[in-house]
Amino acid sequence: MSAPMTLRVNQSFVLSWWLRLPVSVSCLAVMLLGPAASKAGAQPNPATSICDLRAYTGRSGAVARVSGDELVVEWAGAGSERVRLRFAIRQGVPVIDELALRSGSSARWTPVATDLSIDFQIVEGFRRISNQQLAPLRGLDVELTQEVVDRYKWDVFWDAPLDLRAEVGGGNPPPAEGVAGQPGLPRSPDEIRRGAAGYRASACTVRSEGRRLSVSFSGLTLGSFSGALVLSVHEGTNLIRVEAVASTERPSVAYKYDVGLTGLDIGPDSSVYWRDVATQLQSYSLKGPANTDAVTLRAANRLVVAETNGAAIAAFPPPHTFFWAREVEINVGYNWYRKDDDASFSIGVRQGEQEAVERYLANWSLYSAPPGTEQHMAAYFYPTLGDHSGAFEAALAFTNGDVYRPLPGHQVMGSHYHTNLGRSLMATGSIDSRLSDFEVIRAAGINIAGPVDRPRDATQLEEQRWLFEGAERHSDETFMVLPEMENSNLLGGHWDLLFSHPVYYVDARPAGNPLVTEHPEYGRMYNIGSVADMMAMIAAEDMLVYMPHPRTKGSTGYPDAIRETTQFLDDRYRGVGWRWGMGSDLSEIRLSGKRVIPLLDDMNNWVAGTSQRPKYLLAITETYFKAPGDDVYANGPVSYLRLDELPPPGAYAPIIDVLERGDYFVTSGEVLIPSHRYEGSDAGMRVVAEVEWTFPLEFVEVVFGDGERTTTHRLSATDHPAFGHETFTVPFDATGQAWVRFAAWDSAGNGAMTMPVRLGEPR
């Protein structure tokens, strides 16, 4: 543009929370409206401020312009649809004066809604470290200083800042005495603060990046947070991302947020639609009385749809960053609607305030907000012409209906499921009992499931037998149950054993007993009394080791503490588990981008100067029992193994071989890397990678290390459309580098990573 454009904006307005979406400005404009303006009697405020368009580049597919006192954003949506948002400021509140849609076959715009606002709510609590984390640190003789506590508390698992019970349960007593600044339990009601967003805009900025257009308003406040409201849209999709981008300076904040779209018109045919946990379609016609509170919906796929004025609008959260770590995936209700009066209604997304099962009430940790970090509290809205069915279809496409997509030449593996397979079958009295856990896992598109058992000492061998035989009975040519065992002795922290075939062992070796003996019922049996015993069995029986939850829970301080040990440096110790949510921090642009991904690179720098192979990640879940209706997809990543077909039940060696050589990638599900290769050498090296995605892509990156330092070369991918497929070529200088890996990440925080490969000896 030849000159900056201006937008007449009130200097002060109240606004509810907003989410960040990656794309076209029109959508963003709709989301940006504050919650407080009423439909009747609102008048423009003459106070003005500048809307800076200098960072905006005009494109035919996404246009931002000033019309009178309004900012108009229009972009090419999905298929032949176009979307338009008109922003206005009324009584100090930015509103979406109009959301309209147009079909490519028509010149007429369909007004879907007018005078829309966004309603943000926040609940804050006090973040504490857990005794589960303190115990391994004490075992390592770590001095529990405030610095140490502040380092590890952000990765807590057993914490429930909104739980005011005197007894916290969950095996999580108060922190150790003498740890300054970390008060014990019970919690005080004064620790919990609730608030709605306020906004005092000093500027509006429109920015283009590739196909994405975003609008931001500074001056946002929400509880102890302050920052900006950002709305984003993307050419080629109707998707609108609304987010509050804000930070707090308080020292120990844990929080949750809710967000909604308010001011939708109630007409003769207006309704709210959702699918229940049995995936049956439900609806409410809004003919009843107005609601005092928001109505919580236990909706499948985290999705609610509003029908109004000949169109439908879907509301849903980011599929994975929205969730902190839990031990179950029970749907606690992530959506809501509210009939506000006879003329208008609202829909949105929410997080509950406690766990669904009594046993796990102490495991409701909320998001972590380290002081000064830029938190992105986001939600998505998807408007489309037609009825609710089209909105459901469009929204579900971003997660493939919450099913991991099949990929030719690959098998989809989920790992570390605490199903207690052996013990559960023993309780039924029949080895042929069918457990629903695996039906739920299989329905999510996973065809290799790794249940991790922790047999009790008194019945260790018997539970192992039920685990091994039960795994075979739940397997066939299209679905494999691969037994795993979690241990917390000998090797340091917690660690999983993955089996190439059934192997029996006990955790004891009395003096004089050989390592291997013959059991009258179970045959060959190992007697394990030392690290050397364990590693000998692992090598002899073709097993692998992964640490499931590194640097947190019972592995706090690990694997750092064992990085120079014989067990960690053994090639059979393949690496660590990758799962988001333990330390859910919405300032991360990658899932577990502060805890696990940096550790992957650290580990490969640790072994770069040795003869050892690179270390890997394995996607894990860390959840217990499962039932139909549980939100399995949102709470667990998977590994795509390059394997044409499954081996016979009980013969797991081909799977172990793929894992051992790192011929797989891990993913949240929305981004796939069907193939990749490295070409050239030294300064002329490049990675050529095939990538598929659903949400608009954000960037691809090549990451490499020289044994001391890690370097990341990032390539923006915002010029690509949603639902894309591209082969990227990324050059990088491999001179003196020891290892390299490739990753791709989308605008919703979802992504996929390949395993590192060795390039050569470091300088």
Average pLDDT over residues 520-533: 97
Rounded to 10 deg, the angle between the 460-473 and 421-428 helix axes is: 90
Q: Please tell me the distance from the alpha carbon of residue 490 to that of residue 218, in angstroms, as a whole number.
A: 53
295-338 per-position pLDDT tens digit: 999 999 999 999 999 999 999 999 999 999 999 999 999 999 99
pLDDT of residue 167: 54
490-506 per-position pLDDT tens digit: 999 999 999 999 999 99
pTM: 0.92
pLDDT at 738 over 70: yes
* pLDDT range class, residue 44, cuts 50, 70, 90: very low
Q: Is the peptide bond before 44 cis (omega within 30 degrees of 0)?
A: no
1 or 756: which leads in pLDDT: 756
Task: Indicate the residue type of 121.
Answer: Q
Q: Are 749 and 320 in contact (CB under 8 A)?
A: yes
Q: Please tell me the distance from the alpha carbon of residue 15 to that of residue 10, in angstroms, as a whole number.
A: 12
pLDDT at 24 over 80: no
Share of the chain above pLDDT 90, in %: 81
Characterize the bridge pairing of strands 523-527 and 82-90.
Answer: unpaired
Greatest mean pLDDT among 37-51, 154-168, 606-620: 606-620
Phi, psi of 664 (to 5 degrees): -165, 170
pLDDT of residue 760: 66
Q: Which parts of 515-612 fold into alpha helices (H)?
A: 531-540, 566-569, 596-606
Task: Give me the half-sphere count of Cα atoms (radius 13 Å) on the Cβ side of residue 516.
Answer: 8
What lies within 8 Å, CB to CB, of 151 at 6+ separation is none
Q: Please tell me the distance from the alpha carbon of residue 245 to that of residue 227, in angstroms, as a whole number.
A: 6
pLDDT at 49 over 70: no
pLDDT at 176 over 50: no
pLDDT at 410 over 60: yes
CATH 3.40.50.970 at 670-763, yes or no:
no
Q: Which parts of 491-636 fold into alpha helices (H)?
A: 531-540, 566-569, 596-606, 632-635
Q: What 8-state DSSP symbol labels residue 59?
A: B
229-255 per-position pLDDT tens digit: 899 999 999 999 999 999 999 999 999
Residue 553's DSSP bridge partners are: none
270-301 per-position pLDDT tens digit: 999 999 999 999 999 999 999 999 999 999 99
* pLDDT range class, residue 50, cuts 50, 70, 90: low
Candidates 547, 522, 228; CA nearest to 376 is: 228
pLDDT of residue 34: 36
pLDDT of residue 565: 97
174 or 262: which leads in pLDDT: 262
* pLDDT range class, residue 36, cuts 50, 70, 90: very low
Residue range 410-502+543-667, CATH number: 3.20.20
* pLDDT range class, residue 169, cuts 50, 70, 90: very low
Q: Please tell me the distance from the alpha carbon of residue 253 to that of residue 675, in angstroms, as a whole number.
A: 41
Residues of the chain with CATH 3.20.20: 410-502+543-667
pLDDT at 558 over 90: yes
Candidates 483, 474, 478; CA nearest to 433 is: 474
Q: Please tell me the distance from the alpha carbon of residue 223 to that of residue 194, in angstroms, as a whole number.
A: 7
Residues of the chain with CATH 2.60.40.1940: 670-763
Q: Please tell me the distance from the alpha carbon of residue 32 to that of residue 48, in angstroms, as a whole number.
A: 17
pLDDT of residue 607: 96
pLDDT at 33 over 90: no
Average pLDDT, the chain: 89
Q: Are 444 and 404 in contact (CB under 8 A)?
A: yes
Q: Please tell me the distance from the alpha carbon of residue 622 to that of residue 533, in angstroms, as a whole number.
A: 27
Q: Are 98 and 85 in contact (CB under 8 A)?
A: yes
Q: Is the peptide bond before 550 cis (omega within 30 degrees of 0)?
A: no
Average pLDDT over residues 447-451: 97
80-132 per-position pLDDT tens digit: 999 999 987 777 677 789 999 999 878 899 999 999 998 999 999 999 999 88
Q: Are 51 and 71 in contact (CB under 8 A)?
A: yes
pLDDT at 12 over 70: no
